[in-house]
Amino acid sequence: MKKTVISAWVAMMLLITAGRLVSQSPQSAAAPTDPKLAQTAQALEQTSQQLKQALQALRAMKAANQQLIEKQQKSLEQLDSIQKEADQVRILGKRS
């Protein structure tokens, strides 16, 4: 019981610390004095922007795919109902 409580507390502290690190913006840090660090920071910022744009594009694609899937589902339902009606017509045609 004691180990579980301690483990839960440690995990909670790690999550809180990780959340704080993630939520800090790169602009809040002091500007790097080393040119290589400044270049790396700029490259990271560009990569971050590119990833955000890619994520937005993926979300748009997901929404478009979801709409297409819904449209296809409606078409399949219509085809199923047409097939059922055709089967009914065949059955009634054989009886006549």
Tell me the pLDDT tens digit for each residue of 8-61. Answer: 666 666 677 766 655 555 554 555 578 888 888 888 888 999 999 999 999 999
Round to whole Å and give the CA distance between 41 and 32.
8
Round to whole Å and give the CA distance between 48 and 27.
13
Round to whole Å and give the CA distance between 95 and 45.
75
Answer yes or no: are the C-beta atoms of 41 and 32 closer than 8 Å: yes
Nearest residue to 57 via CA among 67, 68, 46, 65? 65
Answer yes or no: are the C-beta atoms of 45 and 29 closer than 8 Å: no
- Residue-range domain boundaries for the chain: 60-96
Answer yes or no: are the C-beta atoms of 38 and 32 closer than 8 Å: yes
pLDDT for 70-96, tens place per residue? Answer: 999 999 999 999 999 999 998 888 876
pTM reported for the whole predicted model: 0.48
What was the pLDDT predicted at 80?
Answer: 96
Give every CB contact of residue 45 below 8 A, 6+ residues apart in sequence: 26
